[in-house]
Amino acid sequence: MNLAKRALALSVLLIGGVVNAFAQGDDAGAACGALGCGVFALVYVAIIVISLGGAVALIVFVVKFIRRDAFARGMPNADSIKWLGLLGLLGLLIYLLTRPQGNVLPCPACGLQRMQGLPNCPHCGNA
């Protein structure tokens, strides 16, 4: 099982145990309250997990975009500037404002993107 399934199974097990413990007595309101509290906690954890997953996905997308674009523009530090993407959208904005300006066109030899005016393609090395 992956980590998310294990966490969900553990949460359901804990919530079930708490509800079962409160349901043993005569007070049905306590059992209902425990169930409501458990469901609220489960929804809260799910929202946090989804938010963190979205943030990680955004950072991965930004890092890949910056690396691909910096390499296509022939920047000498293309492998090191991709770490600017760890700042997320702020890093993307900084990169877009500081990158070399110019048109990016497909290379006639390899078909990958390269900046117009470069003497050699950064991917294949052809002129």
> How do residues 89-115 score in pLDDT, each as one tens digit?
898 898 889 888 888 888 888 888 888
| Gap between the Cα atoms of 40 and 25, Å rounded | 23
Q: Rounded to two decimals, what is the model's pTM?
A: 0.63
d(CA 84, CA 59) in angstroms, rounded, equals 10
20-75 pLDDT, tens digit each? 666 666 666 766 776 677 777 778 888 998 999 999 999 999 988 888 888 888 88
Record the tokens describing residue 115, joined without a space: 């900046």
Smallest Cα–Cα separation from 16: which of 47, 51, 41, 52?
41
Q: Distance of CA 123 to CAs 73, 87, 104, 114, 119, Å?
A: 10, 27, 13, 8, 12
